């Protein structure tokens, strides 16, 4: 699994500071942060650029505005973007305030998100 341990620690510390009860799972080639059995966000190393990416599940309402920001890309694993989910390049989460902004969007959307079907 390819992800940056330091970024994982930063995300964990932010969620703990907000008293969020989360769990982590290694999946999608990286590390996913789960809240209420739903993906909140994740981190991985891009195979294309070898750079760190934050996968942020922010919902379709916040999606169009997020794509206008610098260092934000559509989340695309299969050749088709997943609406409501974005990739934020490492330059977009370098500062704690930047990371906090993305995490807040993920936390705001999580209660509205649907859980994956249990297998």
pLDDT at 77 over 80: no
The answer to whether 76 and 85 have CB atoms below 8 angstroms apart is: no
User: Which domain, by its residues, includes 57?
Assistant: 5-111
77 occurs within a structural domain: yes
Contacts of 11 (CB under 8 A, 6+ apart): 33, 41, 43, 99, 103
Q: How many domains does the chain have?
A: 1
Q: Please give the pLDDT value at position 119.
A: 56
Other CB atoms within 10 A of residue 36 CB: 12
Q: What is the CATH number of the domain that holds 50?
A: 3.90.1150.30
28 occurs within a structural domain: yes
76 occurs within a structural domain: yes
Q: Please give the pLDDT value at position 55.
A: 95
Q: How far apart are CA 77 and CA 79, in angstroms?
A: 6
Q: Please give the pLDDT value at position 47.
A: 81
56 occurs within a structural domain: yes
117 occurs within a structural domain: no
Percent of the chain with pLDDT over 70: 96
31 occurs within a structural domain: yes
Q: Where are the alpha helices (DSSP H) in 22-86?
A: 63-67
116 occurs within a structural domain: no
The answer to whether 9 and 96 have CB atoms below 8 angstroms apart is: no
Report pLDDT digits (tens) over 35-75.
Answer: 999 999 999 998 888 889 999 999 999 999 999 999 999 99
79 occurs within a structural domain: yes
């Amino acid at each position: 699994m390819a992800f940056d341990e330091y970024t994982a620690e930063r995300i964990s510390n932010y969620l703990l500071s907000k008293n969020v009860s989360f769990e982590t799972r290694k999946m999608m080639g990286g590390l996913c942060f789960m809240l209420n059995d739903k993906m909140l966000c994740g981190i991985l190393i891009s195979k294309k650029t070898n750079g760190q990416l934050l996968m942020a599940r922010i919902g379709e309402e916040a999606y169009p505005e997020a794509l206008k920001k610098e260092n934000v890309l559509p989340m695309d694993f299969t050749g088709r973007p997943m609406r409501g989910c974005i990739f934020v390049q490492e330059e977009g989460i370098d500062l704690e305030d930047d990371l906090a902004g993305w995490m807040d969007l993920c936390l705001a959307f999580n209660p509205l998100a649907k859980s994956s079907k249990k297998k």
